[in-house]
Amino acid sequence: MYNPEHFDTLILGSGQGGKLLAWHLARSGQKVAVVERRWVGGSCPAVACLPSKNEIWSARVAHVVQNAAQFGTIAGPVKIDMARVRQRKQEMIDREIAFHLNAYKTSGAELIMGSGRFVAPKTIEVALNDGGTRLLTGNEVVVNVGSHAAIPNIPGIEAARALTHIEALELDYIPAHLLVLGGGYIGVEMAQAYRRFGSRVTIIEPGPQLMGREDADVAKEMLRILTNEGIDVLLGVEPANVRGLSGDEVSVTLRTAVGEQRIDGSDLLVAVGRIPNTADIGLEQAGIELNGRGFIRVTERLETTAPGVWAIGECAGSPQFTHVSVDDFRIVRDNMAGGNRRTDDRLVPYVVFTDPPLARVGLSEGEAQRQGIAVRVATLPMSNVLRTEATEETEGFMKVLVSAEDDRILGFTMIGSEAGEVMAAVQTAMLGGLPYARLRDAVIVHLTIAEGLGPLLGNIAPRSRR
Ligand SMILES: Cc1cc2nc3c(=O)[nH]c(=O)nc-3n(C[C@H](O)[C@H](O)[C@H](O)COP(=O)(O)OP(=O)(O)OC[C@H]3O[C@@H](n4cnc5c(N)ncnc54)[C@H](O)[C@@H]3O)c2cc1C
Ligand SMILES: NC(=O)c1ccc[n+]([C@@H]2O[C@H](COP(=O)([O-])OP(=O)(O)OC[C@H]3O[C@@H](n4cnc5c(N)ncnc54)[C@H](O)[C@@H]3O)[C@@H](O)[C@H]2O)c1
């Protein structure tokens, strides 16, 4: 083996946490390198969060304009220019790339574009994108290689060249009839966006409800909202085979409770979950073990089974959100500096960026039940929040779980306008350990959506005396 180049910290994959760690350590004087095969800045700004939310926003504008007459604005016939939608998204990505390159330059961290694989403990060989190889070692090594879209094992799906989120975000035409496999995060977000651009859309979900991890009442409301916009949702159906070619004519045969059913469409999007990018990168050469699901085995401190090697983000089995990968960075940063931060004491919120969005922090009702945690539950329909009188955003509801033993807020779910922003207020109260009545009695601005927190928490029953 030829002489390796040595770094204080070597990071494989420019994921969301890894790049922040690189910039931080380099600014602190360390010699740092990041190896990235494709996306400067990782998947979030290139093919995931930012581009999807960018196109979802374009779709929202289309929706508002299409419904403008209801609010007294006569806009005339509406036409969607998908090439412009895509271009706007690309301009944002280009700004992101420039931002990231500048952060590498100013921090002093080296970005090496190529595919990396371990060839020995703490040693990575990089097949450079421009040709040639480099051999790198690090005192500390961090793996932040992310995941890719799973393609289910359905006969005909490979030949059909189904879209993943990556190709779907590159379309410069409006699919006549988009078939969406999967009624999870990507499925519902993209289904609604394409419906608003003008596609006919069918969601195909084998589970009994959309958004399988949510309470049934939340999933039912999501179903009602999407169905009202004209999206067809097929629940409890199993795709058996696929025929044809996405972008042309494609059909999916489904096994249903009442026999087989064939759905014909023009394009097929697959959104059935993620597979960690941990295969074929030589982890076994470096003593880095995987768990049974292919994720890197880590401690709560994000240490792998190899001394001096850490893992961050989705490849480490962390919840699949950018803000979690960012928090993984903070944990590794502090633990590298001798601290003792853990992943198991954090509150992980999330937002599904449908319109209205779905947000949750803490326990759902189902989780509380399964964990045997006694709770008091209150709900408030969005139509009872005064602001929605003005905006007509009356869909959805808020739900809060308060401990039956004390007055701590244990969970908050909202499907409704500004759900993510309202949730952040509840999350803050939860982090501060505020008894629910403090938030209930807070003076919250009239006429905001958050004003609904008062009446919502006012619906919590008093604690029963034993
Ligand atoms: C369509 C979509 C929308 C999403 N929307 C949201 C959202 O709104 N909010 C949210 O919080 N989360 C969202 N997510 C999830 C979020 O994007 C991810 O959780 C987050 O990007 C994970 O980051 P990570 O740090 O694990 O890795 P990533 O950001 O995925 O980075 C891993 C990097 O490693 C590189 N890599 C892999 N293997 C190698 C190798 N061998 N050599 C060199 N480089 C390698 C990859 O090219 C990639 O750039 C979305 C995901 C998708 C797919
Ligand atoms: N707003 C956000 O934060 C956001 C947005 C997009 C993605 N993400 C992250 O990315 C992850 C991946 O998203 P996703 O939508 O691919 O996965 P998901 O896990 O959210 O949903 C996958 C869905 O596909 C269904 N499914 C499984 N096998 C299937 C099959 N053969 N045919 C049809 N459906 C099938 C599952 O029952 C499930 O409902 C999410 O879990 C989330 O963490 C987050």
Please report the ipTM that was assigned to this predicted complex: 0.99
* Cα–Cα dist 197/175, whole Å: 9
Question: What integer pLDDT is reported at residue 1 of this predicted model?
Answer: 60
The answer to whether the beta carbons of residues 463 and 376 sit under 8 Å apart is yes
CATH architecture of 150-273: 3-Layer(bba) Sandwich (3.50)
Question: What integer pLDDT is reported at residue 224 of this predicted model?
Answer: 98
* Cα–Cα dist 25/336, whole Å: 10
With both helix axes pointing from N to C terminus, report the angle between 216-228 and 185-197 in degrees, rounded to the nearest 10.
20
Could you confirm whether 165 is annotated as catalytic? no
Question: What integer pLDDT is reported at residue 466 of this predicted model?
Answer: 61
Q: What number does the ligand 1 atom closest to the CA of 13 have?
A: 34
Tens digit of each residue's pLDDT (9 = 90 or more) over 109-142 = 999 999 999 999 999 999 999 999 999 999 999 9
* Cα–Cα dist 255/261, whole Å: 7
Per CATH, the homologous superfamily of domain 5-146+277-337 is: FAD/NAD(P)-binding domain (3.50.50.60)
The protein residue whose alpha carbon is closest to atom 51 in ligand 1 is: 48
Q: Which tokens in the block code for residue 306?
A: 């190899």
Mutate to test the pocket of ligand 1, among 12, 43, 143, 351 (most ligand atoms within 8 A of CB): 43
Please give the distance, rounded to the nearest whole angstrom, from the Cα atom of residue 271 to the centre of ligand 2.
5
Question: What integer pLDDT is reported at residue 464 of this predicted model?
Answer: 83
The answer to whether the beta carbons of residues 387 and 421 sit under 8 Å apart is no
Please give the distance, rounded to the nearest whole angstrom, from the Cα atom of residue 123 to the centre of ligand 2.
34
* Cα–Cα dist 173/389, whole Å: 36
Question: What integer pLDDT is reported at residue 2 of this predicted model?
Answer: 76
Closest CA to 412 of 404, 230, 422, 277: 422
- Where would I find the H helices in 111-170? 165-168
| Gyration radius of the chain over CA positions | 24
> CATH 3.50.50.60 residue ranges in the chain?
5-146+277-337, 150-273
Task: Compute the mean pLDDT over every residue in the chain, rounded to the nearest whole number.
Answer: 97
Please give the distance, rounded to the nearest whole angstrom, from the Cα atom of residue 325 to the centre of ligand 1.
9
* Cα–Cα dist 308/287, whole Å: 11
Question: What integer pLDDT is reported at residue 170 of this predicted model?
Answer: 98
In the predicted model, residues of the chain with pLDDT beneath 70 are 1, 466
For domain 356-459, give the CATH number: 3.30.390.30
Question: What integer pLDDT is reported at residue 270 of this predicted model?
Answer: 98
Q: What number does the ligand 1 atom closest to the CA of 314 have?
A: 26
Mutate to test the pocket of ligand 2, among 47, 185, 211 (most ligand atoms within 8 A of CB): 185
The answer to whether the beta carbons of residues 187 and 316 sit under 8 Å apart is no
Instruction: Say if residue 366 carries a ligand binding annotation.
Output: no
Q: Which ligand is nearest to the CA of 205?
A: 2
> CATH 3.30.390.30 residue ranges in the chain?
356-459
Please state the pTM of the whole predicted model.
Answer: 0.98
Q: What number does the ligand 2 atom closest to the CA of 212 have?
A: 39
H/E run at residue 233: strand 232-235
- CB of residue 320 inside a 6 A radius of ligand 2: yes
* Cα–Cα dist 112/133, whole Å: 11
